[in-house]
């Protein structure tokens, strides 16, 4: 076996290890998201809150230690306090964060649906025979927006499960690729050993 072939096998071996690790991580995390979406999202919110809290405390300590003075110091002190409050909020109220994002999107969708109703009425006045189709679609848009507003937790759980399933698929794909690489390396070793015997 020449040097080029050896380097190729070494590269495949490293790829096998990294893909195996990534495959296991993706599969495990995907399984947690798919089976326990509420717990997983709450945990992620808590981790995010802790990270923001640490950054805020670092800003405050830097200011109190006298490393920043004047306007810059006041800015970092104020920013540190805001980040600490946000971090504590994420840690103590992860459920609020779960509700907030779908609700914001829901409000946007409802507003757009109301605008579409106005356009449908205008279309009817202009004599468009298919105005009722756009009206029905506008009403459906508003209904979906209201669902996002009033049932945000259900929406987030569904999204988390979908993401979890995708992560599981990605992890299994990585492990299948690892299996293929392992077979290639094994076959190359067998060929090399036969060549040495001859």
Give 64-88 pLDDT, tens digit per residue.
766 555 545 577 778 888 999 988 9
Structure confidence by residue, pLDDT tens digits, 128-141: 788 888 889 889 99
Q: Distance (Å, rounded) from C-alpha 162 to C-alpha 74?
A: 44
Residue 169's pLDDT is 85
Query: What pTM was estimated for this model as a whole?
Result: 0.60
CA angle 68, 74, 78 (to 5 degrees): 120
Cα–Cα dist 85/89, whole Å: 6
Q: How far apart are the first and last CA of the chain?
A: 13
7-50 pLDDT per residue, tens: 665 666 666 666 677 778 888 888 888 888 878 878 888 888 89
DSSP assignment, residue 80?
Answer: H
Helices and strands, counts by H and E, the chain: 6, 0
Alpha-carbon distance of 103 to 127, in angstroms, equals 36
Residue 166: enclosing H or E segment and its boundaries?
A: helix 152-197
């Amino acid at each position: 076996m020449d040097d080029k072939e050896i380097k190729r096998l070494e590269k495949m071996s490293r790829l096998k290890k990294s893909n195996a690790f990534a495959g296991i991580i993706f599969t495990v995390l995907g399984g947690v998201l798919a089976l326990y979406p509420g717990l997983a999202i709450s945990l992620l919110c808590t981790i995010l809150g802790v990270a923001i809290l640490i950054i805020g405390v670092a800003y405050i300590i830097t200011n109190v230690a006298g490393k920043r003075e004047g306007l810059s110091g006041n800015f970092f002190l104020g920013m540190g306090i805001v980040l600490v409050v946000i971090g504590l909020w994420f840690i103590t109220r992860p459920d609020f964060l779960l509700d907030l994002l779908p609700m914001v999107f829901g409000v946007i969708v409802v507003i757009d649906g109301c605008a579409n109703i106005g356009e449908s009425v205008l279309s009817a006045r202009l004599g468009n025979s298919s105005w009722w189709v756009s009206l029905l679609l506008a009403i459906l848009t508003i209904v979906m927006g209201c669902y996002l507003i009033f049932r945000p937790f259900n929406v987030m759980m569904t999204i988390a499960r979908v993401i979890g399933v995708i992560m599981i698929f990605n992890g299994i794909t990585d492990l299948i690729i690892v299996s293929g690489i392992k077979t290639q390396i094994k076959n190359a070793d067998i060929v090399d050993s036969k060549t040495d015997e001859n």
